[in-house]
Protein backbone atom coordinates (compact mmCIF):
# COMPACT_ATOMS: atom_id res chain seq x y z
CA UNK A 1 0.00 0.00 0.00
CA UNK A 2 1.34 3.45 -0.96
CA UNK A 3 2.10 5.99 1.78
CA UNK A 4 -0.72 8.29 0.57
CA UNK A 5 -3.18 5.40 0.83
CA UNK A 6 -1.96 4.63 4.36
CA UNK A 7 -2.43 8.29 5.34
CA UNK A 8 -5.91 8.34 3.80
CA UNK A 9 -7.00 5.22 5.70
CA UNK A 10 -5.61 6.67 8.94
CA UNK A 11 -7.44 9.96 8.35
CA UNK A 12 -10.75 8.25 7.60
CA UNK A 13 -10.44 6.19 10.79
CA UNK A 14 -10.08 9.37 12.89
CA UNK A 15 -13.59 10.53 11.95
CA UNK A 16 -16.86 9.17 13.38
CA UNK A 17 -18.67 8.44 10.14
CA UNK A 18 -21.69 6.91 11.88
CA UNK A 19 -22.55 10.30 13.37
CA UNK A 20 -22.10 11.98 10.02
CA UNK A 21 -24.31 9.42 8.28
CA UNK A 22 -27.04 9.97 10.88
CA UNK A 23 -26.72 13.74 10.41
CA UNK A 24 -27.03 13.42 6.62
CA UNK A 25 -30.05 11.13 6.83
CA UNK A 26 -31.78 13.53 9.21
CA UNK A 27 -31.28 16.51 6.86
CA UNK A 28 -31.47 15.06 3.34
CA UNK A 29 -34.64 13.34 2.20
CA UNK A 30 -34.95 10.12 0.22
CA UNK A 31 -31.48 8.71 0.85
CA UNK A 32 -31.26 4.99 0.16
CA UNK A 33 -31.04 2.32 2.84
CA UNK A 34 -27.57 1.24 1.75
CA UNK A 35 -24.68 1.88 4.18
CA UNK A 36 -22.59 4.99 3.58
CA UNK A 37 -19.26 4.54 1.77
CA UNK A 38 -16.36 6.95 2.23
CA UNK A 39 -13.20 7.55 0.22
CA UNK A 40 -10.65 10.30 0.73
CA UNK A 41 -9.43 12.31 -2.23
CA UNK A 42 -5.68 12.91 -2.56
CA UNK A 43 -4.49 14.81 0.48
CA UNK A 44 -2.86 18.21 -0.05
CA UNK A 45 -1.58 20.65 2.54
CA UNK A 46 -4.98 22.22 3.21
CA UNK A 47 -8.57 21.11 3.76
CA UNK A 48 -9.56 17.43 3.69
CA UNK A 49 -12.03 16.25 1.05
CA UNK A 50 -13.98 12.99 1.01
CA UNK A 51 -16.26 11.27 -1.48
CA UNK A 52 -19.38 9.98 0.29
CA UNK A 53 -21.91 7.62 -1.26
CA UNK A 54 -25.25 6.28 -0.05
CA UNK A 55 -26.70 4.09 -2.76
CA UNK A 56 -27.16 6.24 -5.86
CA UNK A 57 -26.62 9.49 -3.95
CA UNK A 58 -23.08 10.81 -4.17
CA UNK A 59 -21.59 13.99 -2.68
CA UNK A 60 -18.35 15.49 -1.43
CA UNK A 61 -17.61 16.38 2.21
CA UNK A 62 -15.02 19.03 3.02
CA UNK A 63 -13.50 19.80 6.42
CA UNK A 64 -10.40 21.49 7.91
CA UNK A 65 -7.20 19.51 8.50
CA UNK A 66 -6.37 17.94 11.85
CA UNK A 67 -4.05 19.67 14.29
CA UNK A 68 -3.68 23.34 15.28
CA UNK A 69 -5.25 25.82 12.86
CA UNK A 70 -4.32 29.51 12.56
CA UNK A 71 -7.09 31.97 13.51
CA UNK A 72 -9.61 32.60 10.70
CA UNK A 73 -8.05 29.87 8.55
CA UNK A 74 -10.09 27.02 7.05
CA UNK A 75 -13.43 28.79 7.58
CA UNK A 76 -15.89 26.17 6.35
CA UNK A 77 -18.95 28.32 6.87
CA UNK A 78 -17.52 31.14 4.77
CA UNK A 79 -16.53 28.70 2.01
CA UNK A 80 -20.03 27.19 2.06
CA UNK A 81 -21.64 30.62 1.79
CA UNK A 82 -19.30 31.58 -1.05
CA UNK A 83 -20.40 28.54 -3.03
CA UNK A 84 -24.04 29.24 -2.19
CA UNK A 85 -23.69 32.71 -3.73
CA UNK A 86 -21.39 31.93 -6.66
CA UNK A 87 -22.88 28.67 -7.96
CA UNK A 88 -26.00 30.34 -9.44
CA UNK A 89 -23.89 32.75 -11.55
CA UNK A 90 -20.87 30.49 -12.13
CA UNK A 91 -22.07 26.85 -12.22
CA UNK A 92 -18.50 25.55 -12.41
CA UNK A 93 -18.46 26.19 -8.66
CA UNK A 94 -19.98 23.10 -7.00
CA UNK A 95 -23.47 23.48 -5.57
CA UNK A 96 -23.41 23.37 -1.75
CA UNK A 97 -25.93 21.10 -0.01
CA UNK A 98 -25.44 21.30 3.72
CA UNK A 99 -23.31 22.99 6.39
CA UNK A 100 -22.72 21.71 9.92
CA UNK A 101 -21.02 23.50 12.81
CA UNK A 102 -22.23 21.08 15.47
CA UNK A 103 -18.96 19.91 17.00
CA UNK A 104 -20.65 16.84 18.47
CA UNK A 105 -21.05 15.51 14.92
CA UNK A 106 -17.44 16.22 13.96
CA UNK A 107 -14.86 18.11 16.00
CA UNK A 108 -14.62 20.68 13.20
CA UNK A 109 -17.27 22.36 11.05
CA UNK A 110 -17.81 20.78 7.64
CA UNK A 111 -20.01 21.08 4.61
CA UNK A 112 -21.34 18.81 1.88
CA UNK A 113 -21.53 19.76 -1.79
CA UNK A 114 -22.31 18.24 -5.17
CA UNK A 115 -19.86 15.90 -6.79
CA UNK A 116 -18.55 17.04 -10.15
CA UNK A 117 -17.42 14.33 -12.56
CA UNK A 118 -14.55 14.76 -14.95
CA UNK A 119 -10.75 14.81 -15.07
CA UNK A 120 -8.33 16.74 -12.86
CA UNK A 121 -4.88 17.21 -14.40
CA UNK A 122 -1.77 17.53 -12.27
CA UNK A 123 1.73 16.79 -13.59
CA UNK A 124 0.82 14.51 -16.50
CA UNK A 125 -1.97 14.00 -19.01
CA UNK A 126 -4.49 11.33 -18.00
CA UNK A 127 -4.87 8.23 -20.22
CA UNK A 128 -8.28 9.33 -21.48
CA UNK A 129 -6.70 12.28 -23.30
CA UNK A 130 -4.71 11.93 -26.51
CA UNK A 131 -1.15 13.05 -25.80
CA UNK A 132 -0.81 15.62 -28.56
CA UNK A 133 0.12 19.28 -28.82
CA UNK A 134 -3.45 19.98 -29.93
CA UNK A 135 -4.75 18.55 -26.64
CA UNK A 136 -2.28 20.68 -24.73
CA UNK A 137 -3.38 23.78 -26.59
CA UNK A 138 -7.07 23.06 -25.92
CA UNK A 139 -6.41 22.65 -22.21
CA UNK A 140 -4.36 25.86 -22.13
CA UNK A 141 -7.04 27.91 -23.82
CA UNK A 142 -9.75 26.46 -21.56
CA UNK A 143 -7.88 27.55 -18.44
CA UNK A 144 -7.50 31.11 -19.73
CA UNK A 145 -11.11 31.28 -20.94
CA UNK A 146 -12.43 30.03 -17.59
CA UNK A 147 -10.41 32.59 -15.63
CA UNK A 148 -11.72 35.36 -17.88
CA UNK A 149 -15.30 34.11 -17.42
CA UNK A 150 -14.90 34.18 -13.65
CA UNK A 151 -13.62 37.75 -13.77
CA UNK A 152 -16.51 38.79 -16.03
CA UNK A 153 -19.17 38.12 -13.37
CA UNK A 154 -21.00 41.32 -12.44
CA UNK A 155 -20.47 41.31 -8.68
CA UNK A 156 -23.22 43.86 -7.99
CA UNK A 157 -25.91 42.19 -10.10
CA UNK A 158 -24.99 38.80 -8.62
CA UNK A 159 -25.16 40.18 -5.06
CA UNK A 160 -21.54 39.31 -4.35
CA UNK A 161 -20.26 42.71 -3.22
CA UNK A 162 -20.16 41.68 0.44
CA UNK A 163 -17.63 38.92 -0.24
CA UNK A 164 -14.76 41.34 0.25
CA UNK A 165 -13.52 44.91 0.51
CA UNK A 166 -11.90 45.84 -2.81
CA UNK A 167 -10.70 49.31 -1.83
CA UNK A 168 -7.05 49.00 -0.83
CA UNK A 169 -7.11 45.26 -1.60
CA UNK A 170 -3.70 45.03 -3.26
CA UNK A 171 -1.97 47.11 -0.58
CA UNK A 172 -3.48 44.93 2.16
CA UNK A 173 -2.40 41.80 0.30
CA UNK A 174 1.21 42.90 -0.12
CA UNK A 175 1.67 44.15 3.44
CA UNK A 176 -0.30 41.23 4.87
CA UNK A 177 1.81 38.57 3.20
CA UNK A 178 5.02 40.33 4.15
CA UNK A 179 3.81 40.35 7.74
CA UNK A 180 2.94 36.64 7.55
CA UNK A 181 6.41 35.83 6.28
CA UNK A 182 8.15 37.60 9.14
CA UNK A 183 5.86 35.98 11.70
CA UNK A 184 6.91 32.56 10.42
CA UNK A 185 10.48 33.26 9.34
CA UNK A 186 13.07 30.58 10.06
CA UNK A 187 16.03 30.74 7.67
CA UNK A 188 17.71 33.77 6.12
CA UNK A 189 16.99 34.08 2.38
CA UNK A 190 19.07 36.94 1.02
CA UNK A 191 16.74 38.07 -1.81
CA UNK A 192 13.64 38.42 0.34
CA UNK A 193 14.34 41.89 1.70
CA UNK A 194 14.89 43.31 -1.78
CA UNK A 195 11.70 41.64 -3.09
CA UNK A 196 9.63 43.07 -0.24
CA UNK A 197 10.96 46.60 -0.70
CA UNK A 198 10.34 46.40 -4.44
CA UNK A 199 6.76 45.17 -3.98
CA UNK A 200 5.93 48.00 -1.59
CA UNK A 201 7.48 50.67 -3.83
CA UNK A 202 6.10 49.43 -7.16
CA UNK A 203 2.47 48.69 -6.34
CA UNK A 204 0.32 49.48 -9.42
CA UNK A 205 -3.20 50.91 -9.47
CA UNK A 206 -5.63 48.00 -9.51
CA UNK A 207 -8.20 47.56 -12.29
CA UNK A 208 -11.94 47.47 -11.52
CA UNK A 209 -12.57 44.82 -8.83
CA UNK A 210 -13.90 41.37 -9.63
CA UNK A 211 -14.31 38.04 -7.93
CA UNK A 212 -10.85 36.77 -7.00
CA UNK A 213 -10.60 32.99 -6.57
CA UNK A 214 -7.16 33.33 -4.94
CA UNK A 215 -5.94 29.85 -5.90
CA UNK A 216 -6.86 29.55 -9.57
CA UNK A 217 -4.68 26.91 -11.24
CA UNK A 218 -4.98 23.94 -13.54
CA UNK A 219 -5.27 21.27 -10.85
CA UNK A 220 -8.04 23.22 -9.12
CA UNK A 221 -10.10 22.76 -12.27
CA UNK A 222 -11.92 19.72 -13.63
CA UNK A 223 -12.27 19.11 -17.36
CA UNK A 224 -14.66 16.87 -19.27
CA UNK A 225 -13.35 13.33 -19.65
CA UNK A 226 -14.41 13.37 -23.27
CA UNK A 227 -13.39 16.92 -24.15
CA UNK A 228 -10.21 18.56 -22.79
CA UNK A 229 -11.50 21.86 -24.15
CA UNK A 230 -14.49 21.90 -21.78
CA UNK A 231 -14.33 22.88 -18.10
CA UNK A 232 -16.81 21.20 -15.77
CA UNK A 233 -15.71 22.51 -12.37
CA UNK A 234 -13.50 24.89 -10.41
CA UNK A 235 -12.62 23.87 -6.84
CA UNK A 236 -11.08 25.26 -3.63
CA UNK A 237 -13.00 28.48 -3.03
CA UNK A 238 -11.90 28.95 0.58
CA UNK A 239 -9.92 32.14 -0.12
CA UNK A 240 -12.34 33.69 -2.62
CA UNK A 241 -13.00 37.41 -2.21
CA UNK A 242 -13.55 40.62 -4.18
CA UNK A 243 -10.42 42.44 -5.27
CA UNK A 244 -7.79 42.84 -7.97
CA UNK A 245 -8.30 40.21 -10.73
CA UNK A 246 -4.66 40.43 -11.78
CA UNK A 247 -3.61 38.79 -8.51
CA UNK A 248 -5.53 35.74 -9.77
CA UNK A 249 -3.75 35.97 -13.10
CA UNK A 250 -0.38 36.27 -11.37
CA UNK A 251 -1.03 33.14 -9.29
CA UNK A 252 -2.16 31.18 -12.34
CA UNK A 253 1.03 32.18 -14.14
CA UNK A 254 3.23 31.17 -11.21
CA UNK A 255 1.70 27.69 -11.15
CA UNK A 256 1.89 27.51 -14.96
CA UNK A 257 5.40 26.07 -14.90
CA UNK A 258 7.68 26.05 -17.90
CA UNK A 259 10.50 23.70 -18.86
CA UNK A 260 13.42 23.77 -16.45
CA UNK A 261 11.47 25.09 -13.47
CA UNK A 262 11.12 21.89 -11.48
CA UNK A 263 13.54 23.37 -8.94
CA UNK A 264 10.71 25.60 -7.63
CA UNK A 265 8.88 22.58 -6.28
CA UNK A 266 5.85 23.55 -8.38
CA UNK A 267 5.17 20.82 -10.91
CA UNK A 268 2.59 20.84 -13.68
CA UNK A 269 1.88 19.21 -17.00
CA UNK A 270 2.18 22.69 -18.50
CA UNK A 271 5.95 22.30 -18.97
CA UNK A 272 5.26 19.69 -21.67
CA UNK A 273 5.23 20.43 -25.43
CA UNK A 274 2.07 22.07 -26.77
CA UNK A 275 1.10 23.97 -23.65
CA UNK A 276 1.20 27.71 -24.16
CA UNK A 277 3.97 29.70 -22.51
CA UNK A 278 3.34 32.29 -19.82
CA UNK A 279 3.72 35.08 -22.36
CA UNK A 280 1.02 33.49 -24.56
CA UNK A 281 -1.19 33.00 -21.48
CA UNK A 282 -0.88 36.73 -20.75
CA UNK A 283 -1.59 37.76 -24.32
CA UNK A 284 -4.66 35.52 -24.54
CA UNK A 285 -6.02 36.77 -21.21
CA UNK A 286 -5.47 40.39 -22.31
CA UNK A 287 -7.24 39.76 -25.61
CA UNK A 288 -10.26 38.05 -24.03
CA UNK A 289 -10.58 40.34 -20.98
CA UNK A 290 -9.53 43.68 -22.44
CA UNK A 291 -7.48 44.44 -19.30
CA UNK A 292 -4.22 46.35 -19.33
CA UNK A 293 -1.39 44.01 -18.29
CA UNK A 294 1.43 46.55 -18.33
CA UNK A 295 2.37 45.68 -14.73
CA UNK A 296 2.07 41.90 -14.98
CA UNK A 297 5.70 41.49 -13.78
CA UNK A 298 4.60 42.92 -10.43
CA UNK A 299 1.78 40.40 -10.10
CA UNK A 300 4.01 37.46 -11.04
CA UNK A 301 6.69 38.58 -8.58
CA UNK A 302 4.09 38.85 -5.84
CA UNK A 303 2.55 35.48 -6.75
CA UNK A 304 5.83 33.58 -6.31
CA UNK A 305 6.51 35.46 -3.09
CA UNK A 306 3.05 34.62 -1.75
CA UNK A 307 3.35 30.91 -2.58
CA UNK A 308 6.73 30.95 -0.84
CA UNK A 309 5.13 32.46 2.26
CA UNK A 310 2.35 29.86 2.25
CA UNK A 311 4.95 27.08 2.28
CA UNK A 312 7.01 28.97 4.87
CA UNK A 313 4.05 29.04 7.25
CA UNK A 314 3.67 25.28 6.94
CA UNK A 315 7.41 24.76 7.34
CA UNK A 316 7.40 26.97 10.44
CA UNK A 317 4.61 24.88 12.01
CA UNK A 318 6.65 21.75 11.31
CA UNK A 319 9.81 23.21 12.88
CA UNK A 320 7.76 24.25 15.93
CA UNK A 321 6.46 20.72 16.28
CA UNK A 322 2.87 21.76 15.53
CA UNK A 323 2.68 19.63 12.37
CA UNK A 324 4.06 16.11 12.02
CA UNK A 325 3.59 15.39 8.31
CA UNK A 326 7.02 14.28 7.09
CA UNK A 327 6.51 16.14 3.78
CA UNK A 328 6.62 19.47 5.60
CA UNK A 329 10.23 19.01 6.68
CA UNK A 330 11.33 19.37 3.05
CA UNK A 331 9.57 22.67 2.44
CA UNK A 332 12.44 24.93 3.53
CA UNK A 333 14.32 24.36 0.29
CA UNK A 334 11.14 24.95 -1.69
CA UNK A 335 10.59 28.30 0.03
CA UNK A 336 14.11 29.41 -0.90
CA UNK A 337 13.63 28.35 -4.52
CA UNK A 338 10.30 30.17 -4.79
CA UNK A 339 11.83 33.36 -3.43
CA UNK A 340 14.59 33.06 -6.01
CA UNK A 341 11.89 32.65 -8.68
CA UNK A 342 10.12 35.73 -7.35
CA UNK A 343 13.37 37.64 -7.69
CA UNK A 344 13.76 36.43 -11.28
CA UNK A 345 10.26 37.73 -12.03
CA UNK A 346 11.22 41.06 -10.45
CA UNK A 347 14.21 41.19 -12.80
CA UNK A 348 11.85 40.50 -15.77
CA UNK A 349 13.62 37.24 -16.55
CA UNK A 350 10.49 35.08 -16.78
CA UNK A 351 8.37 36.86 -19.37
Q: Where are the domains of the chain?
A: 3-114, 133-346
> How many other β-carbons are positioned within 10 Å of the β-carbon of residue 8?
19
* C-alpha closest to that of 252 among 223, 225, 284, 204: 284
Alpha-helical (H) ranges within 122-270 are 133-152, 169-183, 192-201, 245-255
Predicted pLDDT of residue 4: 45
pLDDT digits (tens, 9 = 90+) for 218-269: 999 999 999 999 999 999 998 999 999 999 999 999 999 999 888 888 989 9
Task: Return the pLDDT at 68.
Answer: 62
- Write down the pLDDT at residue 329: 84
> To the nearest whole number, what is the mean pLDDT of the chain?
92
pLDDT lower than 70: segments of the chain: 1-11, 42-45, 67-73
User: Of 303, 302, 218, nearest to 256 (Cα)?
Assistant: 218
pLDDT at 297: 98
pLDDT of 205: 97
Supply the pLDDT for residue 278. Answer: 98
What pLDDT score was predicted for residue 2?
39
What is the chain's Cα-based Rg?
20
Distance CA 93, CA 116 (A): 9
Q: pTM for this one? A: 0.90
Superfamily of domain 3-114: Phosphorylase Kinase; domain 1 (3.30.200.20)
Predicted pLDDT at 69: 66
Under CATH, what is the fold of the domain 133-346?
Answer: Aminoglycoside 3'-phosphotransferase; Chain: A, domain 2 (3.90.1200)
Amino acid sequence: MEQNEVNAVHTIQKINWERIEHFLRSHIEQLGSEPMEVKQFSAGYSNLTFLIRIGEWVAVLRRPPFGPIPPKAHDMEREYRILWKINPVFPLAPKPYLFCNDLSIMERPFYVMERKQGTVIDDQLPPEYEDTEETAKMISETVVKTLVQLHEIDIKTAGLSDLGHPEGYLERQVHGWIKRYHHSKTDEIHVVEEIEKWLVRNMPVSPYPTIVHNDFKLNNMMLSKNDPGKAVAVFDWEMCTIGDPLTDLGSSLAYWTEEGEAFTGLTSVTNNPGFIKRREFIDLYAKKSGRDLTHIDFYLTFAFYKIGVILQQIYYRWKQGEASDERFGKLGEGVCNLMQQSYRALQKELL
